[in-house]
Structure 1
Amino acid sequence: MALVHLSAADADGPTELHRGDTVELRLPESPTTGYRWRWRLPVTLRMLADEHVDAAMTGLDAPGSAGERRLAFDVTAAGLHELRAELARPWEGEAREALTFVLHAL
């Protein structure tokens, strides 16, 4: 079992994992604009955490600045899994940005 880190740069390409691995995905987010990441996880990925990490908390920037959305999940089954992330405002139907992560768990 390993901890695997993913970012927006890992979207659209396959990422090889092992069943039992924990994955941490971090994407830039500025909730003061109303835009937040929402997830479409298959049942084979078990969510552990979904939180906003303020840049000020990491000591990198001033309070109120943009930060990151942190999603952590376990891979519970072998096979191909597709995780979709959409950056959208809850009151709007269309996503401003969408990313797809293809996970190949052995």
Structure 2
Amino acid sequence: MFAAHRLLLPCALLLLAGCAHKADSFSLQKQSQCPLALHAGQTLILSLPSNPTTGFRWITREAAPGHLQSLGPEVYSNPEDAGLIGSGGISTWRYQATEAGSGRLRLTYERPWETGVAPAEVFECALTVK
């Protein structure tokens, strides 16, 4: 019985250590997942539905200056099973949380050449980097 108690403490510590591990990346797909709390060094992967064949594009208006760093341009992918020309896909951006503080990530879905027209959609997410 004493030996079982000796094993219980190390197992409990391992379990707690596993729970305390910070994820290296966070996938954001819905505005309902906001606000966000990230830690410095963590990668944020933002994926939003889009369909560039309609002329609409997501335009980054604000990306938490000083707190998020872009890791490259937008990447568009179309699901292979869609099989339809002109069907929608997913636009993805990658950011790295840099310095502690608060900011917001704001994108608008619009046709860039249309001036004076309200965006079809707005994605806005408050975030804090710890």
TM-score normalised over the length of structure 1: 0.86
RMSD across aligned C-alpha pairs, in angstroms? 1.6
Partner of 2:91: 69
Higher helix share: 2
CA contact 1:55–1:63 (8 Å) conserved in 2 = no
1:37 partnered with 2:58? yes
Provide runs of 4+ in structure 1 moved above 4 Å: none
Measure, in 1, the Cα distance between the counterparts of 2:122 and 2:98: 24
Alignment partner of 2:44: what SS?
strand
Higher relative contact order (CA 8 A, sep 6+): 1
Measure, in 2, the Cα distance between the counterparts of 1:97 and 1:41: 17
2:113 corresponds, among 86, 91, 95, to 91
Alignment partner of 2:71: what SS?
strand
Higher strand share: 1
Alignment partner of 1:43: what SS?
coil
Cα deviation for residue 63 of structure 1 reads 5.0
1:6 partnered with 2:33? no
Alignment partner of 1:69: what SS?
strand
Q: Where does structure 2 lack aligned partners over 5 or more consecutive residues?
A: 1-22
Measure, in 2, the Cα distance between the counterparts of 1:62 and 1:17: 37
Structure possessing the higher radius of gyration over alpha carbons:
2
Q: Where does structure 1 lack aligned partners over 5 or more consecutive residues?
A: none
CA contact 2:69–2:96 (8 Å) conserved in 1 = yes
Partner of 1:26: 47
TM-score normalised over the length of structure 2: 0.71
Identity of aligned residues (%): 29
Partner of 2:128: 104
